[in-house]
Structure 1
Amino acid sequence: MLSRDRVRLLVDAPWFNKVITAVILVNAITLGAETSPALLASFGDVLHAIDRLALAVFVVELALRFGAYGRSFFRDPWNWFDTAVVAVTLLPTASGSFSVLRALRVMRVLRLVSVVPSMRRVVSALLTALPGMASITALLALVLYVSAVIATKLFSGVAPDYFGHLGDSLFTLFQVMTGEAWSEVARQVMAEKPFAWVFFVGYLVVTSFTVLNLFIAVAVSAMQNQVSEEHAEHDREEMAATMEILTEVRRLRADVEALRAKASA
């Protein structure tokens, strides 16, 4: 029976993390191959066997991690994420209302986020940026709603397919915000109201060129803050290690002085 310390050394070993990453990638390829009827007809048994083997590896990995860390296993949110992803794929998928869960097996690929440190940093930064993004989302929704009310009042008679009522206007302006065929909408309205370009250009400037770019700014700022915190934590660890070495050197120097004093006596 392996001790907890040995299991912890196993699950924290770099090669163990690389093996799990390789299993996730192989499982991702097999799940994609299962969407091809030709490959499924020729290699269906092999693909299903690899899929079950990958699931078994993930279950054993989580069991080892839990055995290594005990209750502290659940203190890490990423362990909760891995457990939830694997648990979903363990649910019955044979028939009935659970048949849709078979398609959710591809969620195992998302475990790359928790396994690859760079992906984990990106997701962590995005999560820390959520409060700022929520404020920007509220601002964007407000601009969209006000613009939709204005467009409905101005253009409902000119382009009823696009601005016939508030729901149509909201959808059309969301489409315009993404840049999808906005010129066609604008030109149809401008055929009757030439100065409508002022509304569309102003709306695009406010939404696409200003508000949407704020999302990028908030995300980049969060990533920079996280990188700075990681560097600061690394510097603190190095400083602690240096101080520990200096303390040990002073202790050795004191022992040497004590030995010299005894020798001279």
Structure 2
Amino acid sequence: MIDALHRGLVTLRHNKAFEFFVIAVIIVSALEIGAKTYDLSPTSLLITTYLDVFITVFFLIEICIRFITEENKRRFFHSGWNIFDTLVVIISLIPVDDSEMALLARLIRIFRVLRMISIVPELRVLINSLFIALPRLGYVVLLMFIIFYIYAAVGSFLFSDINPVLWGNIAISMLTLFRVMTFEDWTDIQYETMDVYPMSWLFYMTFIFFTAFAFLNMVIGIVVGVMEEEHTREREEARKELEKDQPTLSDLQAQIASLSEQIKQLKN
């Protein structure tokens, strides 16, 4: 009976309808959290309270099913996503009313939306790719900081008398340059300095070229490259798993030989 129950839970875990239902509950959880930011009527508050209890209990059951159906339970918590999901579920069990931990529990309930990442493989690959790309992106960020620092120093020396609010010191100049890089009314800043230095447009054009175009494309290229590597690795792992499940030629030959021997014994 226990084996039958275990097989049933394994089937349920890998059932597509169950996966879609889990995703639907996560979406409902996100909507429920958003609804609580509005002024609700007592009836609506009661509904959201019961809904929150249902979501918490469902997530607890779902994580238990995943743990029970795991073949190697010791390796269950080797996955960072399993640890994250378990912590979110456990902390969600903390009562949110009349408790010193109420604020923490409410904040953790917000992070239940991130469980979508552990459920949807495509999102998981995307996040893993971003984490793997961080070391490579670090050098790009460092180079971008150097460019920011140089241009901020130049801007502070040249334009501080024009507008000390924007160019008063190197820190404020870097904030101004970030505004320029994000194209937030950057032309107003440019025209203001061009009234004094007509050729100052070269300062802004070169800065935008280095940051908004060159470095941004470098970041995108690194992330896309890592994502392609992750997809290739997952396809290779899936291929190996498929080959592992399929019998080899030697296995087939051994089975044929065994069947032939059994047929000879039956004839005799």
Stretch moving more, 46-55 or 7-16 = 7-16
Selected match of 1:151 from 142, 150, 155: 155
Q: Does 2:77 match 1:74?
A: yes
Other-structure match for 2:31: 29
Selected match of 2:236 from 232, 239, 250: 232
Q: Is the 8 A contact 2:13 2:65 kept in 1?
A: no
Q: Residue 11 and residue 144 in structure 1: after superposition, are their counterparts in 2 closer, same or farther (change >3 A)?
A: farther
Q: Is the 8 A contact 1:73 1:79 kept in 2?
A: yes
Q: Is the 8 A contact 2:94 2:102 kept in 1?
A: no
Q: Is the 8 A contact 1:7 1:67 kept in 2?
A: no
Q: Residue 233 and residue 148 in structure 1: after superposition, are their counterparts in 2 closer, same or farther (change >3 A)?
A: same
Q: Does 2:186 match 1:182?
A: yes
In 2, the alpha carbon distance for the partners of 1:256 and 1:67 equals: 38
Q: Residue 169 and residue 225 in structure 1: after superposition, are their counterparts in 2 closer, same or farther (change >3 A)?
A: same
The one-character-per-residue Cα deviations of 1:111-150 (angstroms, maximum 9, x if unpaired) are 0010111111111111111111111111111211121111
Q: Residue 75 and residue 165 in structure 1: after superposition, are their counterparts in 2 closer, same or farther (change >3 A)?
A: same
Q: Residue 250 and residue 17 in structure 1: after superposition, are their counterparts in 2 closer, same or farther (change >3 A)?
A: same
Other-structure match for 1:258: 261
Q: Is the 8 A contact 1:33 1:40 kept in 2?
A: no
Give 1:208 deviation, angstroms. 0.5
- Aligned-residue CA RMSD in angstroms? 2.6
Give 1:261 deviation, angstroms. 5.7
Selected match of 1:249 from 245, 252, 266: 252
Q: Residue 260 and residue 103 in structure 1: after superposition, are their counterparts in 2 closer, same or farther (change >3 A)?
A: closer
Q: Residue 204 and residue 63 in structure 1: after superposition, are their counterparts in 2 closer, same or farther (change >3 A)?
A: same
Query: Percent identical across equivalent pairs?
Result: 29
Which ranges of structure 2 fall in alignment gaps of 5 or more residues?
Answer: none
Other-structure match for 1:48: 49
Other-structure match for 1:193: 197
Which ranges of structure 1 fall in alignment gaps of 5 or more residues?
Answer: none
TM-score, normalised with respect to structure 1: 0.88
Q: Report the 3-state secondary structure (helix = DSSP H, G, I; strand = E; otherwise coil) of the residue aligned with 1:179.
A: coil
Structure 1 residues 166-177: aligned runs within 5 Å: 166-177=170-181
Other-structure match for 1:58: 59
Q: Residue 2 and residue 135 in structure 1: after superposition, are their counterparts in 2 closer, same or farther (change >3 A)?
A: farther
TM-score, normalised with respect to structure 2: 0.87
Other-structure match for 1:139: 143
Q: Is the 8 A contact 2:129 2:227 kept in 1?
A: yes
Give 1:255 deviation, angstroms. 2.6
Q: Is the 8 A contact 1:125 1:226 kept in 2?
A: yes
Give 1:256 deviation, angstroms. 4.2
In 2, the alpha carbon distance for the partners of 1:73 and 1:7 equals: 20
In 1, the alpha carbon distance for the partners of 2:195 and 2:154 equals: 18
Q: Is the 8 A contact 1:7 1:64 kept in 2?
A: no
Work out the number of aligned pairs and report it: 263
The one-character-per-residue Cα deviations of 1:80-100 (angstroms, maximum 9, x if unpaired) are 121233344344544686453
In 2, the alpha carbon distance for the partners of 1:78 and 1:137 equals: 27
Q: Report the 3-state secondary structure (helix = DSSP H, G, I; strand = E; otherwise coil) of the residue aligned with 1:195.
A: helix
Stretch moving more, 168-177 or 254-263 = 254-263
Q: Residue 187 and residue 72 in structure 1: after superposition, are their counterparts in 2 closer, same or farther (change >3 A)?
A: same
Give 1:67 deviation, angstroms. 3.7
The one-character-per-residue Cα deviations of 1:168-198 (angstroms, maximum 9, x if unpaired) are 1011011111111111111111111111101
Stretch moving more, 26-35 or 4-13 = 4-13
